[in-house]
Chains A and B, each alone.
Chain A
Amino acid sequence: MKKHPRFLSLFLFIGVFIFVIVPFVPLILTSLSFGWRWPDVVPQAWSLRAWEYVMNDGRTWQAVGISLWIALIVTTINIILAVPAANAMMRYPVRGRWLFEAIIFAPIIIPPFISVMGIHLTFLRLGLTETVFGVVLAHIAPTLPYMFRAVMISYQTLSTDWEDQARMLGAGAMPRFFHVVLPHLLPGIVAGASLSVLISLSQYLITFIIGAGQVVTLPILLFPFISGGDPGIASAYSLLYAAIAILALIVMDAALKRYYQMNKAAQNQAKGVKP
């Protein structure tokens, strides 16, 4: 019985390793190989050709910039829309609550490309196709429900007593929101923002329909390579794309931690504790 954990732990280690890590091996090897022939498990010749192509091509960094820019605008709009809505949902008696929930959560169930294909000709008439703004509008529906849900969960644990206390101490609506409510919501907002950025970054079809090939985000740039293009360049682009998605998450997480540290330091100083 005592031997069990170690055996299980080893088993799990091998299983997770094969399942999660090994699939990346051919991706990395292909991006670094030169004419990797079939029966060779490891390439015979190595080359940085694919990475040089990807790093030196101006389109790469333009695509990275546009992808992150769209994700940032979409997420900002989502925060502005979701915070008041979540506030109303959690703290007021709302009649027809289920209807509001059904409307806002609908894009999780119904695939957004259905709506985008339907609205395409209308966007064309309004001159919104081929523009970053049009793509931003198309990205809002698939991302907003996740932000809304995350902020709603944050509101669940925020008692109105805190705001009442601040009100009694003479704080107006704005200071109450920025010093009492917002710090409490921040972890939820960051969680929602992470999902919002991740989903915005991974949209291919709706960006392609509305952007019409003129708004080149990373997935748009990547697709011709992975569907029958140069495998080396396709692998390098795939790794870069995955790295940017993961990096965006890590940066947001780190920013939140940094905010808490700074806040704590400021509070300690106010209390006279030496840092």
Chain B
Amino acid sequence: MWRKSKPYLLLLPATAAIILLFFGGIFDGLLKSFGYFPAIGQTELNLAAYDRLLSSEAFWESLTLTLRVAALSSLLSAIIGALVAIALFFLNDAMKTTSPKAWHRLFQLPLTIPHLVAGYIIVLLFMQSGFVSRILAAIGWIDDIADFPVLVNDPFGWGIIFTYAWKEAPFVALMLYPVLSRIHGSWREVSRVFGAGNWQFIREVVMPVMMPAWTVATFIVFVFTFSAFEVPYLLGVTYPSVLPVYSYQLYTSGTLADRPEALAVNMILAAITILLGLVAYYFSKRWNVLKGWG
């Protein structure tokens, strides 16, 4: 009896902690999104909050913005991350020294910077009177503050996208590099024997090897940027706001009537992230991401 139940007893504390603290909270939120507030005498469940939400323009605009910001952020991080990973790979291949490790370390610095700080760094760089605007003025590209486009606290979300690209490109590179480092030096030689140049080698060998890990890394960045709060809260505008910020605005609006709507936004967010997570899990299993090729 003891032998059989032992692993479950060992798993119990961690599982119970997550079920109580995490799923308990989600369930609590789910009930309240259905209008269940015993404190004010409401114990009947209804879909009124979802009804109001799905018929409001603000929700759909928020969803569109969230999708756009997440898609552009993950795409930009994926491109920068892949370029750096490939450059590091060729450097390592050509020099066979330890110096690329130092590059690698340096490139990972943004990963350790808290999101709010990264957001503020982008504010100081890209606001209209920011550092980039000053440099452009110094070399004579612009004459006035107003000539510099509004890239921070803008309705399109450029500031948010730049922050995520800066924070997450190193993450993509970090995911790709171990996969690339499994390409043997001899493959390069073989490709040369067959007359392939650098570009052909990248297209025919490096890209296919990199593809599964690249897709999954990009997907992870997408799911994260889709549901993160801090950066859009700092760098976005009040309207339209991304879904997590929209939910927070509803939650803190002061009237208790908005709370079920805020929690309904959360439940929709949770459902979308679960779906995305399952897709990512399915592909990472199928493609054997860690190996790089199936």
Give the B-binding residues of A (Cβ under 8 A).
4-5, 8-9, 11-13, 15-16, 19-21, 23-27, 30, 38-41, 80-82, 84-85, 87-89, 91-94, 100, 103-104, 106-107, 109-119, 121-122, 137-138, 140-141, 144, 148, 198, 201-202, 204-205, 219, 222-223, 226-227, 231, 234-235, 238, 241-242, 245-246, 249
Closest residue on chain B to residue A138 by CB atoms: B21
Give the chain B neighbours of A113 by CB distance below 8 A: 229, 244, 248, 266
- Nearest-CB residue, chain B, relative to A248: B112
Q: Are B229 and A249 in contact (CB under 8 A)?
A: no
With A and B bound together, what is the CA distance between A187 and B110 in angstroms? 23
Contact of B116 with A202 in the complex, beta carbons under 8 Å = yes
Whether the pair A115, B91 counts as a contact (CB closer than 8 A) is: no
Docked complex: B217-269 residues within 8 A CB-CB of A: 223, 227-230, 233-234, 244, 247-248, 251, 262-263, 266-267, 269
Q: How far is the CB of B206 from chain A (nearest CB, A)?
A: 14
Is the beta-carbon distance between B29 and A118 smaller than 8 angstroms?
yes
Interface SS of chain B: helix
- Give 13 CB contacts A-B under 8 Å: A5-B95, A12-B84, A19-B169, A81-B13, A103-B15, A103-B18, A104-B14, A106-B22, A109-B274, A110-B270, A118-B30, A202-B230, A219-B116
Q: A118: which B residues are within 8 A, CB to CB?
A: 25-30, 32, 263, 266
In the complex, what distance in Å separates the CA atom of A17 from the CA atom of B235? 24
Residues of B9-35 contacting chain A, CB below 8 A = 10-11, 13-15, 17-19, 21-30, 32
Of B42-50, B130-138, B174-182, which binds chain A?
B130-138
Which residue on A lies nearest to B234, using beta carbons? A227
Taking a contact as CB atoms under 8 Å apart, the answer to whether A85 and B13 are in contact is yes
A63 smallest CB distance to B (angstroms)? 13
Chain A positions within 8 Å of B274 at CB level: 109-110
Q: How far is the CB of A200 from chain B (nearest CB, A)?
A: 11
- Is A106 within 8 A of B18, CB to CB? yes
Interface centre among A40, A113, A122, A249 (most CB of B within 10 A): A113
- Kindly state the separation between the CA atoms of A109 and B233 in the bound complex, as whole angstroms: 20
Contact of B23 among A5, A84, A106, A201 (CB under 8 A): A106
CB-contact partner of B121 in A93, A205, A238, under 8 A: A238
The answer on a CB contact under 8 Å between A109 and B273 is yes
Q: A114-B269, A118-B266, A238-B117 are in contact. List 10 more A-B contacts (CB 8 A).
A: A8-B90, A15-B84, A39-B138, A84-B13, A85-B14, A88-B8, A109-B273, A117-B262, A117-B263, A198-B112
B interface with A by C-beta (< 8 Å): 6-8, 10-11, 13-15, 17-19, 21-30, 32, 39, 80, 84, 87-88, 90-91, 94-95, 103, 106-107, 109-110, 112-117, 119-125, 129-131, 133-135, 137-138, 145, 166, 169, 198, 223, 227-230, 233-234, 244, 247-248, 251, 262-263, 266-267, 269-270, 273-274, 276-277
Tell me the complex Cα distance, A121–B125, Å.
40
Whether A140 and B21, one on each chain, are in contact in the complex, defined by CB atoms closer than 8 angstroms, is yes
CB–CB B87/A11 < 8 A: yes
Contacts of B129 in A (CB 8 A): 38
User: With the chains together, A84 CA to B15 CA distance in Å?
Assistant: 11
Question: How many A-B residue contacts, CB cutoff 8 Å?
Answer: 233
Q: Which of A100, A109, A122, A246 has the most CB of B within 10 A?
A: A109
Q: How far is the CB of B95 from chain A (nearest CB, A)?
A: 6
Q: Assess the A122–B244 pair: CB atoms within 8 A.
A: no
Do A245 and B114 have beta carbons less than 8 Å apart? yes
Give A148 to B23 CA distance when docked, in angstroms: 18
- Cβ contact within 8 Å between B8 and A94: yes
For A20, give its contact among B91, B110, B198, B277 (CB under 8 Å). Answer: B110
User: Pick the contact of B120 from A4, A205, A238 — CB < 8 Å?
Assistant: A238
Separation of A49 and B183 alpha carbons in the complex (Å): 53
CB neighbours (8 Å) of A91 from chain B are: 7
Residues of B within 8 A of A121 (CB): 28, 32, 39
Contacts of A141 in B (CB 8 A): 17-18, 21-22
**What is the chain A residue whose CB lies nearest that of B132?**
A26
Taken together as a complex, chains A and B put the C-alpha atoms of A242 and B109 apart, in Å, by 10
Residues in chain B near residue A137, CB distance under 8 A: 21
